[in-house]
Amino acid sequence: MQFKSFAYLLSAVAVVLAQSAQDVLSNLATLRTQLTTLDGAINGFPDTGGSLTQALAIHTDALNVQSATDDTTAATSGTPPFSEADGQSVIDAVTGLVPIIEDALVGIVAKKPAFDALPLGGISDLVRQDLSGLSSSTSSLEDALIALAPADLVDESTALKNEVDAAFATAIAAYN
């Protein structure tokens, strides 16, 4: 009798811990919000005369994006492979993120001289660290999503990964 109770408890816990494609999509929506905030902060940073406070706000926004990215990756844990419809919904959501990511990365490269001109040095080093952390977290998320994608969507998913990874590589190179 105790074994049956224990087995029932384990199955109930597994159901509670199981994630779904909808959980992943919800996390991707949160990630989009965080990315949009970061992109806005980067684009709002002036080419000259920016403040340390503004630069540190960008850093905070970058940390928020990294946290949202890591949360989205965690949401894939225990998620069964995506159905065709869910896989397409995830690809559509990620496709919507790509221009925001690319705009933020192009913007952060363009703002490097402004960061370097701030009276307190080290902001570019902080940006480099942020880029490295974001790139790593993004790569983990990309790999997790590709692992759940239906076979016929893997090529499209991989192409999105390659596009984003190339944008990160360009931005990181600008800060090295």
pLDDT digits (tens, 9 = 90+) for 150-159: 999 999 999 9
As to burial, measured by CB atoms within 10 angstroms (0-12 exposed, 13-18 middle, 19+ buried), residue 34 is: buried
- The CA distance from 118 to 48, in Å, is 9
Count of Cβ atoms closer than 10 Å to residue 32 Cβ: 16
Which pLDDT value is given to residue 7? Answer: 38
Is the Cα torsion angle 86, 18, 76, 152 positive or negative in sign? negative
How do residues 47-73 score in pLDDT, each as one tens digit? 999 999 999 999 999 999 999 999 999
Give residue 2's pLDDT band: very low, low, confident or very high (50, 70, 90).
Answer: low
Whether residue 33 is predicted with pLDDT greater than 60 in this model: the reply is: yes
- Whose CA is closest to 75, among 25, 15, 34? 25
Convert the pLDDT of each residue in 88-145 to its tens digit: 999 999 999 999 999 999 999 999 999 999 988 899 999 999 999 999 999 999 999 9
Tokens 């940006």 belong to residue: 127
Strands (E), the chain: none
d(CA 114, CA 110): 8
Helices and strands in the chain, H and E counts: 7, 0
pLDDT at 3: 46
The candidate with the shortest Cα–Cα distance to 50, out of 39, 42, 40, is 42
Nearest to 108 by CA among 49, 173, 13: 173
CA distance 73 to 141: 5
Quick one: tokens of 99?
Answer: 């221009």
Domain residue spans of the chain: 19-174
Percent of the chain residues topping a pLDDT of 70: 90
Which CATH architecture best describes the domain 19-174?
Up-down Bundle (1.20)
